[in-house]
């Protein structure tokens, strides 16, 4: 072992606390990088393999009713590799008199063969037998949530017909990875089901003998998707085509894609913050060490060591700390990634999800860690190269403090000596202190911004379920019906108020941008479900245009006063140009609002409604639920309380846990900055502090001189961190907002207080560790000189 290697090991042991703190900051940055890139790779690879294995369609083409021979015409379209037709429809499941009917989707499977596209993954039981129209395969997640098993029976109402079905199997499917009740955005396994039946069974139920109402297309590698969709629409238009759409617009796939994009955004934002802080800390530590070891550097050069050998010694120290932190981050990233896999399996119904390591993330973590660490020490190593033996072995020139602040007059009278020493130190090294302030403020900003985002989720829930939706439940009809049928709902004992609504599926176009969604037809002055403006005041829905949600307006690049084209996908499927008259604030989904009568006039279908919002007496809820089950026009019932509880559960189990993770991360940054600043100050002032003890200062007074400046730095960082956190909360909210949901930037006093608490605790722990070292200091050794 060479002398420089032995010196390296001794130096690392001497600064082990600082090295561990810096390594922890690097480790957290690499952990986030490895975990997030691994999750992205796992989700993308598992999704790709799952889609390919079970042959998920590339294009979905719903239609009102098309003859079976149209499948051959679709198969002859250029770019189409395979075609599968099927029958789908809405269903209601009755699990007992004390429960609401559960909304479900019925999907057909070929009687005597496996489906060419959109196959299912059987998890329990067996597949359907040909000719057995009373058998059903049920979505696995729903069956588990309500306690159903193969062999059990259930009652389902489809197209007004009540059927007794026997469960023969449980299954999962790639098109139902993320399942939500119709009209909602949050999964609830117990409130939505998928039923797979033989095609002959659904042909009889939905009057589709020899016909289909949905075509599935897979494309060749060289296919032009847009041209295939346009050709399929032209072919199915005469049969009531509802508009073909690509896999990208499938609801389940959209949610997973948004999750992957959110992870990619976090990967680009979070790790660089930690690595930049680590580079700053390494610069301070190595700079202090070089300054303290000037004489040793001079002696090494005088005995024949070259500039490269001496500089390489300090560079190896930097590499050792960076490499150790990167290795720890890689290991912890694997552990954290595997733990996160269970969370994703809960929300996204993959049959399996194995955490897949991305080799590039390890390489990127190591390279970026070393580069950032090298950047932090590069300026210091320049001073090592510049030192000649003669200059290095002389004491450094005393620093010029003639221009630093002086305390005279009232300041000298009212400030005691230790306080003046603390303030003098701050004015003599302003750049170093400013760097420490920025480092601590970064930890505050990250913690405060993430806490603010979680507060924004609460704000989103309050606005959606408290201000906008003031109903107790919503009812969906099987098809648009006459408005007077709503009177049947109002006549139910316990129903206090009924407000009709019409939901019309449509493609909204503005220039080259388009969005597949629905038009919400509401009363001009709705009471139970309202559109609101920025000030949360209800908007009056005029009859001369359409009101868009903020997210949808941004998606289409449209503002008030411009014109939208609506391609309605039901009934006569008209194409209507409608002016945009206002933009509303809504944080869940991307709705578009029109006055109900104006919408019906545009469709030339007066006095039609497709659902209603209800305000009910909670004491009579069971009677209302039982009455709704017996109404053939009812396709689904949704309780607002259940929808809100589902969203709250998602937030608590998913994003809610982020507040503790981010608090820990912020604590790591803050602890690393404060602890290193304290240890550097202690090493630089060891002789001064020992002299104060000899002059009669107590241990508490000596600790006050050192820790007082750290307290001032921390206090200065609090307002700066709040300001940085305010700006960062806007950046993060914009990065995580999608067309599915919008996260409002909300910076609250509570989130700032949470961040302050984390920082102050980290500062107290750092101060306690440094004070312990001050109390244990050897005064004789500290006061010795080496001349």
Question: pLDDT digit string (tens) for 335-346?
Answer: 888 877 777 777
The pLDDT, as a whole number, for residue 400 is 59
Q: With contact defined as beta carbons under 8 Å apart, do 137 and 127 qualify?
A: yes
| Most confident region among 50-64, 424-438, 619-633, 637-651 by mean pLDDT | 50-64
* Residue 537, helix vs strand vs coil: coil
Report the 10 Å Cβ neighbour count for 429. 17
Q: With contact defined as beta carbons under 8 Å apart, do 290 and 56 qualify?
A: no
Q: Is the pLDDT score of 390 beyond 70? A: no
Report the 10 Å Cβ neighbour count for 52. 10
- Per residue in 352-374, pLDDT tens? 777 777 777 778 777 877 877 77
Report the 10 Å Cβ neighbour count for 153. 11
| Most confident region among 164-178, 292-306, 362-376 by mean pLDDT | 164-178
- Per residue in 712-754, pLDDT tens? 888 888 888 888 888 877 777 766 666 556 666 776 777 778 7
- Per residue in 553-597, pLDDT tens? 888 888 888 899 988 888 778 888 899 988 887 766 678 899 999
- What does the block give as tokens for 52? 């390919």
Q: Is the pLDDT score of 215 beyond 70? A: yes
Q: Listing from the earlier edge strand, what are the strands of the sheet with 80-86?
A: 80-86, 211-219, 59-67, 245-246
Question: Of 579 and 393, which is predicted with more confidence?
Answer: 579
The pLDDT, as a whole number, for residue 170 is 95
State how beta strands 513-522 and 592-595 pair: parallel
How sure is the predictor about 409, in pLDDT bands with cuts at 50, 70 and 90? low
Q: Indicate the average pLDDT of the chain.
A: 80
Q: With contact defined as beta carbons under 8 Å apart, do 447 and 666 qualify?
A: yes
Reduced DSSP (H G I as helix, E B as strand, rest coil) percent helix, strand, coil of the chain, to 5: 55, 20, 25
- What does the block give as tokens for 429? 């090294």
- pTM for the predicted model, two decimal places: 0.74
Nearest C-alpha neighbor of 532 from the set 459, 437, 635, 483: 459
Q: Which domains does the chain have, with CATH numbers?
A: 1-59+260-394 (no CATH), 60-254 (no CATH), 417-471+639-787 (no CATH), 495-616 (2.40.40)
Q: Is the pLDDT score of 404 beyond 70? A: no
Residue 557 region by backbone torsions, left for phi larger than 0, else alpha for psi between -120 and 50, else beta: left
**Strand (E) or helix (H) holding 477:** strand 473-482
Half-sphere exposure of 761 (CA within 13 A, CB side): 11
């Amino acid at each position: 072992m060479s002398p420089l290697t032995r010196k390296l090991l001794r130096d690392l042991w001497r600064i082990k606390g600082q090295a561990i703190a810096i390594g922890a900051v690097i480790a957290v940055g690499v952990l986030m990088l490895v975990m997030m890139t691994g999750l992205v790779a796992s989700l993308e690879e598992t999704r790709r393999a799952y889609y390919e294995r079970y042959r998920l369609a590339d294009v979905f083409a719903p239609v009102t009713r098309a003859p079976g021979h149209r499948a051959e015409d679709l198969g002859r379209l250029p770019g189409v590799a395979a075609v599968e037709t099927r029958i789908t429809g809405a269903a209601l499941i009755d699990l007992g008199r004390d429960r609401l009917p559960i909304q479900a989707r019925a999907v057909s499977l070929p009687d005597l063969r496996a489906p060419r596209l959109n196959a299912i993954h059987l998890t329990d039981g067996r597949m359907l037998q040909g000719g057995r129209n009373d058998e059903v395969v049920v979505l696995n997640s729903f069956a588990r949530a309500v306690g159903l098993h193969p062999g059990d029976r259930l009652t389902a109402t489809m197209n007004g017909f009540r059927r007794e079905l026997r469960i023969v199997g449980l299954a999962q499917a790639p098109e139902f990875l993320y399942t939500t009740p119709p009209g909602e955005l949050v999964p609830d396994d117990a409130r939505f089901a998928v039923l797979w039946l033989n095609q002959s069974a659904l042909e009889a139920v939905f009057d589709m003998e020899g016909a289909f109402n949905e075509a599935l297309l897979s494309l060749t590698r060289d296919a032009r998707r847009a041209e295939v969709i346009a050709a399929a629409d032209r072919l199915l238009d005469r049969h009531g085509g509802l508009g073909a759409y690509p896999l990208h617009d499938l609801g389940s796939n959209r949610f997973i894609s948004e999750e992957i994009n959110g992870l990619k955004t976090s990967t680009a934002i979070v790790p660089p913050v930690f690595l930049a802080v680590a580079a700053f800390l390494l610069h301070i530590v190595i700079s202090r060490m070089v300054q303290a070891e000037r004489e040793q550097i001079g002696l090494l050069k005088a005995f024949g060591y070259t500039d490269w050998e001496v500089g390489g010694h300090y560079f190896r120290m930097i590499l050792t700390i960076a490499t150790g932190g990167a290795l720890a981050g890689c290991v912890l990233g694997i552990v954290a990634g595997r733990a996160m896999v269970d969370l994703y399996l809960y929300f996204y119904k993959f049959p399996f999800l194995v955490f897949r390591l991305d080799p590039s993330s390890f390489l990127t973590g190591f390279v970026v860690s070393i580069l950032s660490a090298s950047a932090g020490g590069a300026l210091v190593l320049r001073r090592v190269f510049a030192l000649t033996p003669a200059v290095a072995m002389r004491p450094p020139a005393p620093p010029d403090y003639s221009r630093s602040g002086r305390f005279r007059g009232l300041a000298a009278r009212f400030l005691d000596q230790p306080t003046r020493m603390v303030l003098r130190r701050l004015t003599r090294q302003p750049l170093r202190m400013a760097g420490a302030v920025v480092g601590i403020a970064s930890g505050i900003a990250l913690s405060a911004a993430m806490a603010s985002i979680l507060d924004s989720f609460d704000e989103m829930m309050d606005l959606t379920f408290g201000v906008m939706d003031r109903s107790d439940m919503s009812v969906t009809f099987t098809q648009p019906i006459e408005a007077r049928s709503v009177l049947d709902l109002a006549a139910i004992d316990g129903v206090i108020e009924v407000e009709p609504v019409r939901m019309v599926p449509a493609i909204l176009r503005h220039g080259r941008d388009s969005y597949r969604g629905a038009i919400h037809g509401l009363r001009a002055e709705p009471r139970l479900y309202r559109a609101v403006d920025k000030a949360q005041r209800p908007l009056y829905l005029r009859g001369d245009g359409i009101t868009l949600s903020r997210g949808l307006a941004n998606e289409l690049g449209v503002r008030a006063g411009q014109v939208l084209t609506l391609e309605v996908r039901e009934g006569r499927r008209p194409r209507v140009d409608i002016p945009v008259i206002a933009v509303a604030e809504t944080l869940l989904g991307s709705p578009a609002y029109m006055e109900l009568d104006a919408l019906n006039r545009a469709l030339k279908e007066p006095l039609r409604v497709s659902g209603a919002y209800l305000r009910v007496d909670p004491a009579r809820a069971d009677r209302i639920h039982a009455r709704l089950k017996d109404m053939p026009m009812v396709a689904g019932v949704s309780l607002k309380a259940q929808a809100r509880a589902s969203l709250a559960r998602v937030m608590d189990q998913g994003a809610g846990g982020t507040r503790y993770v981010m608090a820990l991360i912020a604590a790591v940054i803050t602890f690393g900055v404060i602890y290193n600043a304290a240890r550097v100050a202690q090493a630089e002032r060891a002789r001064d502090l020992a002299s104060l003890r000899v002059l009669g200062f107590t241990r508490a007074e000596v600790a006050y001189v050192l820790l007082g400046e750290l307290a001032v730095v921390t206090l200065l960082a609090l307002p700066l961190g709040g300001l940085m956190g305010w700006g960062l909360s806007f950046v993060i909210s914009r990065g995580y907002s999608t067309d599915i949901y919008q996260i409002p930037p909300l910076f609250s006093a509570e989130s700032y207080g949470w961040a302050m608490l984390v920082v102050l605790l980290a500062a107290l722990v750092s101060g306690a560790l440094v004070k312990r070292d001050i109390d244990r200091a050897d005064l004789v050794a500290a006061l010795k000189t080496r001349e």
